[in-house]
Amino acid sequence: MEYLKKCVQENVPTPAYIKDVLKNVGAPVRFDEIGLNEAMLYDALTNAKEVRRRYTILRLAEDVGLGNKRIYDSIMKLQDI
């Protein structure tokens, strides 16, 4: 687990950096900018990992014990960066 955390820290851009890049190209950075409300966001996070058979960040989060509520809360915090 520590190896994975270190790998992510060294290789994945920060949320603030990603948000800045998206803003600079005129892309939406908030869920309400693409027509999602909080209930829709929670449903999307809950069900997205079931749509396709590939391994995604949401499946990884589930595998390491992060519940949907914790993921949702983390994403909502990112809205304020």
Q: What are the sequence ranges of the domains in the chain?
A: 2-78
Global pTM reads 0.64
What one-character-per-residue DSSP string does 42-81 give?
Answer: HHHHHHHHHHSSS--HHHHHHHTT--HHHHHHHHHHHTT-
Residues of the chain with confidence (pLDDT) below 50: none
What digits encode the pLDDT tens for the residues 46-56? 888 888 888 98
The b/e string for 38-76 (b: 16+ C-beta within 10 A; e otherwise) is eeebbeebeeebeeeeeeeebeebeeeeeebeebbeeee
pLDDT score for 81: 63
Yes or no: say if 41 and 72 are a contact pair by the CB < 8 Å rule: yes
